[in-house]
Structure 1
Amino acid sequence: MAWNEPGGNNQDPWGGKRNNEGPPDLDEALKKFQDKLNGLFGGGKSKGPAGSGRGMSSTAVVVALVILALVYGFAGINIVNEQERAVVLRLGVYHTTFEPGLNWAPPLIDQVFPVNVTKVRLLSKTGQMLTEDLNIVEVNVSVQYSIADARDFVLQVRDPEGSLAQATESALRHVAGSSEMHEVLTEGRERIAVDIMGRLQNYIDTYDTGILVEKVNVEETNPPRDVQEAFDDVNRAREDEERKKNEAEAYAMDILPRARGMAQRVLEEAAAYKAQVVARAEGEAQRFEKLLAEYSRAPEVTRERLYLDAVQEVMANSSKVMIDVEGGNNMLYIPLDKIVQQSSAAVGQGAPMTARELDSKISEIVRREINSGRSRREGR
């Protein structure tokens, strides 16, 4: 039968040796374990034998120590993010710097200070300062910075960001005090930002703050409010000056290419005229040389031909001819335009009149007028 059934001779594996072996009573075992714990922490005494109580107390102490060791071990685990570095102090003295990952530091012995070394932080500073030409300006600057050395940032300076603010103000006053007001308020702002950045980095490197200045921007520069209106007038005048300069440059860029183009065209026209005159002169010279050769062969024919060509050229540009008839008292008027029209109508509509025909027509008219004049004189 089972060890916990009636008549089982009180078989208890924790209470002493039994004649019959069997599984212990679970409820009774739990009760005895509770009594042992109560005795360990100052509770009631266990009802079991004295030897069993001392063994149970030693086991409980070991279990408690193991639990405390596990808790202590887990408490020392530190997880460092990828963006961070952790500075470790052991008993107040620098020990090491944890890299990203899982690290362990003994609690109550080590102090861990995580620092984000990738975050870009912003510091703004505004102040009024005196320029080189004894004018007061208000300057607003912003400083972008990050942590370059976590150890120096944590240990070397008590308040590194406060030191950065003071160094920024010092560098700003030094650079602005070495510049004129016009330069600070207008085109010199970029140069001022570069100078402030270099001087500021030198200051914080001297202090070993572990800070790296990424960029310095001069956000805003203004004159004092009392002279703001006058300064705005000066700015407007300067803008008008700049606008006039731009307009003049635009006009120059427009007129100069046009003038160069016109000059080039005149040069090309002159070159073309020169080539034309030279070619014409050479052609006339060749023509006269050929006429000379023809004149040497047939002088009479060539002379008449030249005369007729000259008459045709002259008469082509004149519509009226006045002839003083020899032996008469009247001036003879010959309407060449009418003669040409009549001759053209007689020969054919639109047919041109040659110089020889025109000469014959004029000669006929002259002879007719001379004969009519003689007849009138003889009748008298």
Structure 2
Amino acid sequence: MNKVYDIKEVLPTPRWVKLIPPIAVAVVVILLLISGFYTVDSGEEAVVLRFGKHVETVTTSGLKWKLPLVDRVEKVKVSEVKRLEFGFRTVKEGADAQYRDVPAEALMLTGDENLINVETIVQYRIVDIEKFLFEVTRGEDALRVAAEATIRRVIANHPMDAALTEDKLSIQQEIKDDLQKIIDGYNLGITITAVQLQDVFPPAEVNDAFKDVASAREDRASFINQAETYANEIIPRARGNAAEAINKAMAYKEQRIAQAHGDVALFNSMLAEYRQGKGVTRTRLYLEMMEDILPGIQIYIVDEDGSTVKWLPLQGGGSN
């Protein structure tokens, strides 16, 4: 009768086979430990959730570790400036960028009850990861709703002309400030970095009329610029002419004053001579006056009785 042998009795089990279970357990443990490592990049922050509960916030970059199978990590780029688009969507970025209009978001009512299309960009950054993830469900959705409501309210408080041209910058700042107050009240952990009215334009149905108005505004601005240019040219010239006239008047004034002083001095000297010899002085003054009145004429002087004629050299060139 054939004897049946157990293979284990015939071939003894190698010693290394007994090491397989503990090695396998060790490998699994090592893999689990390795799976607990994660990295936080520069500009990122992370929160660690243990069974869904927040247990840690990581604000520094580098290699970190969490409990495998128990902990879950959510990362947020806190240094990245994100943007929300209203009235349009960017389909393709780059040099050949493409956009898609969203008329329902763009159409708004102004303070003077005109319809206008407003395409807006809101830029924001996450500054408090805990508030952003845990205070409000879907924080970015809450921000979008608050931003659209704020844009519509601010536009409704301003006339159409202000939104089109005059007060764009102040409207952007007003939207930014009001929106920041709202999201601070919601504890979203977000800061608004910029609000830009990307494009503001009237509806297509009244676009031609608005173009005429815009053209009239441009003409008005052109006329104002021309007038200012002319004023800048003519005013300095007029001021120069005025200064020249004033200088001439001052010179004439000084001349007349000097002449008056000279006349006074002459009169005083003549008065002194007159007091010394009234007859002689009167005769000399008379002869000088006659010489001025009758230039180039021979003048004869005769005494009172007419008997004696005296020839006086009253003129140059030998005239008597």
Q: In the alignment, which residue of structure 1 is the partner of 2:160? A: 181
- Match of 2:176, SS? helix
1:190 partnered with 2:169:
yes
Q: 1:233: how far off?
A: 0.7
The answer to whether the Cα contact below 8 Å between 1:311 and 1:355 also exists between their aligned partners in 2 is: no
Q: Distance in 1 between matches of 2:268 and 2:112?
A: 88
Q: Distance in 1 between matches of 2:272 and 2:111?
A: 95
- Matches of residues 264-283 of structure 1 in structure 2 within 5 Å? 264-283=243-262
Q: In the alignment, which residue of structure 2 is the partner of 1:248? A: 227
From the superposition, tell whether residues 110 and 291 of structure 1 become closer, same or farther in structure 2 (CA, over 3 Å): same
Q: In the alignment, which residue of structure 1 is the partner of 2:39? A: 79
Specify the structure having the higher radius of gyration (Cα).
1
From the superposition, tell whether residues 70 and 133 of structure 1 become closer, same or farther in structure 2 (CA, over 3 Å): same
Q: In the alignment, which residue of structure 1 is the partner of 2:50? A: 90
- Match of 1:95, SS? strand
Q: 1:186: how far off?
A: 1.6
Q: Distance in 1 between matches of 2:274 and 2:116?
A: 100
Q: 1:290: how far off?
A: 2.2
Root-mean-square deviation over aligned CA pairs? 3.0
From the superposition, tell whether residues 117 and 305 of structure 1 become closer, same or farther in structure 2 (CA, over 3 Å): same
Q: In the alignment, which residue of structure 2 is the partner of 1:19? A: none
Q: In the alignment, which residue of structure 1 is the partner of 2:66? A: 105
- Matches of residues 144-293 of structure 1 in structure 2 within 5 Å? 144-293=123-272
Q: Distance in 1 between matches of 2:28 and 2:235?
A: 93
Query: What do the CA deviations read for 1:99-155 (whole angstroms, capped 9, x no partner)?
Result: 311110122111111111101112211110111222100001111111112223333
Q: Distance in 1 between matches of 2:9 and 2:283?
A: 170
- Match of 1:245, SS? helix
Normalised to the residue count of structure 2, the TM-score between the two structures is: 0.76
Q: 1:247: how far off?
A: 2.9
Query: What do the CA deviations read for 1:197-244 (whole angstroms, capped 9, x no partner)?
Result: 122223333443332211101111111111111111111112222232
From the superposition, tell whether residues 47 and 143 of structure 1 become closer, same or farther in structure 2 (CA, over 3 Å): farther
Q: Distance in 2 between matches of 1:244 and 1:57?
A: 100
Q: Distance in 2 between matches of 1:46 and 1:56?
A: 17
Q: 1:80: how far off?
A: 0.7
Q: Which amino acid aligns with 1:166?
A: V
**Structure with greater proportional helix content:** 1
From the superposition, tell whether residues 280 and 47 of structure 1 become closer, same or farther in structure 2 (CA, over 3 Å): farther
Q: 1:261: how far off?
A: 3.9
Q: Distance in 1 between matches of 2:260 and 2:9?
A: 149
From the superposition, tell whether residues 357 and 273 of structure 1 become closer, same or farther in structure 2 (CA, over 3 Å): closer
- Matches of residues 4-23 of structure 1 in structure 2 within 5 Å? none
Q: In the alignment, which residue of structure 1 is the partner of 2:315? A: 356
Q: Which amino acid aligns with 2:31?
A: V
- Indicate the structure whose relative CO is greater, using CA pairs within 8 Å and at least 6 residues apart: 2
Normalised to the residue count of structure 1, the TM-score between the two structures is: 0.65
Q: 1:78: how far off?
A: 0.8
From the superposition, tell whether residues 252 and 57 of structure 1 become closer, same or farther in structure 2 (CA, over 3 Å): same
Q: Distance in 2 between matches of 1:177 and 1:130?
A: 6
- Match of 2:207, SS? helix
1:123 partnered with 2:81:
no
From the superposition, tell whether residues 286 and 206 of structure 1 become closer, same or farther in structure 2 (CA, over 3 Å): closer
**Structure 2: runs of 5+ lacking an equivalent:** 1-6, 88-105, 300-312
Q: In the alignment, which residue of structure 1 is the partner of 2:98? A: none
- Matches of residues 335-346 of structure 1 in structure 2 within 5 Å? none
**Structure 1: runs of 5+ lacking an equivalent:** 1-43, 324-353, 364-380
From the superposition, tell whether residues 141 and 322 of structure 1 become closer, same or farther in structure 2 (CA, over 3 Å): farther
Q: Distance in 1 between matches of 2:234 and 2:314?
A: 54
Q: Which amino acid aligns with 1:249?
A: E
Query: What do the CA deviations read for 1:143-200 (whole angstroms, capped 9, x no partner)?
Result: 1111112223333444332332222211111111122112111212212211211222
- Match of 2:79, SS? coil
Query: What do the CA deviations read for 1:65-107 (whole angstroms, capped 9, x no partner)?
Result: 2222221111111111111111111111111122311110122
Q: Distance in 2 between matches of 1:132 and 1:104?
A: 56
From the superposition, tell whether residues 244 and 45 of structure 1 become closer, same or farther in structure 2 (CA, over 3 Å): farther
From the superposition, tell whether residues 63 and 302 of structure 1 become closer, same or farther in structure 2 (CA, over 3 Å): same
- Match of 1:290, SS? helix
Q: Distance in 1 between matches of 2:36 and 2:85?
A: 38
